[in-house]
Structure 1
Amino acid sequence: MMVSKLISTCELKDCPTLYATDRDTLLVQGETPADHGLRIPAHETLVEIPMELIRKAIREQLI
C-alpha cells in the first residue's frame, strides 16, 4: 500500500494526521480512546481525532 500524508494538526510526527492511500481510502492517526463503551469487533479499532483536523482538510479541499 502506498501512503501519502494529506494534512496534520502539527509538523511533528506524533500528531493527529490524515493519510491517503493508493486504494482510494484514508488512514487516520490519532489517540486510542479507552472508555468509549462501544462494542468493536476484534479486527477493528477506534481512533479519536480533533474536529479541527477534518475542518482543516475540508478548508484545504483535501477531502
Structure 2
Amino acid sequence: MDELRMIAGGPCRSGGDDKCGNGDCPTVYATPEPDMLAIQGYDVAHPTPEGESVVLIPENILKEAARARGWL
C-alpha cells in the first residue's frame, strides 16, 4: 500500500522505551483510503482469510492514533 502516514507508534523514542527490543515499535498508519488504517504489530497465531492478518498492538498506541485522528 502506497502513501502510509504514521499517526501513532513508530520508532522507539529512547532505549528505555523500546518494549519491542528492535528499535521499531507497533505503529498505526493513515492510508489514502477513506476510513482505513494500516496496523503494524505483533504476529498472532489465528486463522484468517488469505490476505488478512491479526496483529497485537499496545493499547496506548491505539489511543494515540485516536487522538491523532481527532476521535478523542
Q: Answer whether TM exceeds 0.5 for this pair.
A: yes
> Going by fraction, where is strand more abundant, 1 or 2?
2
Counterpart of 1:16?
Answer: 26
- The amino acid of 2:43's aligned partner reads T
Identity across aligned pairs (percent)?
31
1:46 to 41, 54, 58: 54
Secondary structure of 2:61's aligned partner: helix
Change (3 A) 1:61 1:43: closer
Q: Unaligned stretches of 5+ in structure 2?
A: none
Structure 1 residues not aligned, in runs of 5+: none
TM-score (norm 1): 0.69
TM-score by length of 2: 0.63
Query: What's the Cα RMSD here?
Result: 2.3
